[in-house]
Structure 1
Amino acid sequence: MLPYLLLAAVSSVLLAIGLLMMKARSDVLPPAHGANVLRAILAWIRDPIWTGGLVVQAAGYALYVLSLSNAQVSMVAAMQQGGIAFFVALSIVLLGERARPIEWLGIVAIIVGMLMLALSLSSDESHGAMDSGALLRFSLAITFAGIAPYASERLRKSGIAPAILSGVLFGLASLFAKGMTDDFLARGSAPVLVIVMSDPCFYGVIFGNLVGIVLLQNSFTSARGIIAMPLSSALSNIVPIAGGMLFFAELLPASRTAASMRIAAFVLTVAGSALLADSRAPSVGAVAERIESQA
């Protein structure tokens, strides 16, 4: 299992670099809203740096899916959390972003929570078969929960609402990716294309990741990367970890210490996400846009 967990760690670095490249273009690329969605997405694709970031993201995600073939979804999600710290460090150094003390508390809480989660993992944990019906019901419920922040004008305008929903959809895509890899291994004798195209999980992976990318890029236009990315990433890992426990029988560890660390990791991650969700400071791009509109 260790080689696959190392693949997950490498994928987290690639995903962070890809997101940084996409965030770096958020100040000059239009947001995808309403009737402007297709036009904005075409503008993103025509931008070589943004497209390069998307390619790096795709490479990272390919390694992520490969790691899922022989490791638990919750363990892979935990190994990826180094990408949060990496992204935050690069955002500070390369993009000049800053955070308020309360926001730093949220970022640190998320990183520490994910570290505790990684330390709570053991190699003897196993998972069972996916309950497709229950997973579908969970997906609908958690998606509606992710949409709820759009009811707040402040969360919409600050870029927090799209960051939250992007994290939810990324997390669901991870669960569907795990279901897809399990199905592939179970039907290994059939042609690859037949397995993929006939698997409903494949379409869940595509939808969750594509819509998640659009939402996260929209968030980048209004929110600082060091706020949007950790928030989205934390939720994208809370969802598959919870889903793994619900639908793949990935229960708490037998060790009381490991179980306590995992519960504490959930609490820290949720608390850190709540602190970031309360962020009120606009991104550099939002400030520049406001100043330009007033000139």
Structure 2
Amino acid sequence: MLESAFPRRQGGADQLLGMVPYLLGYHPTEALVAIIKRPDRPLPRVVSLPLSEPSTVLLNHLMLQIPEKASGIVLIGYGPAAHRAKIAAVSEVLQLLAPVVGRFLYTDGILTCLTPECTCSAAGGVAVDPRSTRLAAELAMTGRVALPSRQDVHTLVAADPTAQAATEAALDSLDTAVASGPADLASLMVPAPAGDRLTDEQVARLCLALHDQDNLVTAWHRTRGRRRHLELWLDVTRRAPEQHAGAPAALVVWSAWCRGQEALAEAALDRARAVAPDHGFTRIVGYLVDAHLPAHRLRWPLTPRLDAPSSGNHS
């Protein structure tokens, strides 16, 4: 089923595997990856789950991820051959929701098609190096990142002590008596579309502005799944002093979640909870990420209060 899972005009097995890490943000290991294709989107949604989880857990998660307009699903297991039966069982149930156009196992550099009686080029196993593919290079050129592992995603939201010190110095020189309103906050978000990096003073002003709930709601409503917004809040999260990092980290969670980048959303959520565990917006985005709820399952617009009481300890 290799050819139907990935059209010839786009490439073969190497292109399929080369695409996955750049859509996830890291190179998966010991994982079950679902590539969910939609006719109205240029790139598929990619979901990664621990391959060691029971089949029922994998299915409960994956069934939430499949939109009504899904045109096909490709499953790839990254791990030992002992998981072949699990991949097959999961694919049989998912077939009831959307066409499963490919099921594969990638072990020790060999991609094997698991579709019974299939005669595609991967039926007997084919050697693939996903790191050296044309499609991987093209995705990298668009700004996509493929880190060595899921754990390495945390480096994207880690604090930069040197940048934090520069922001702290800028904060000391600001006139805190002049409050920033939603209009000022919106103007600070303008440089992002052009790819410009905020100055230390602008980051400092954002840090102060986001402590105000009205400003945070404005930033939230203006932030969706656009890459430029994700890059903006990642930059601010790394440069914000710890006492100011909670709100921008939570905005990274929201932006990554909207884009379907679950690993990055989880890493940013860890940072947000570490610096501001009781923050209302952190609790809201934490519910979404912890439930593995995809963005297409929610109705828009979202208008919950950010100061809603917590129903549990997420620190």
Alignment TM-score, normalising by the size of structure 1: 0.26
Which of the pair is proportionally richer in helix? 1
Greater relative contact order (Cα < 8 A, sep 6+): 1
Give the structure with the higher percent strand: 2
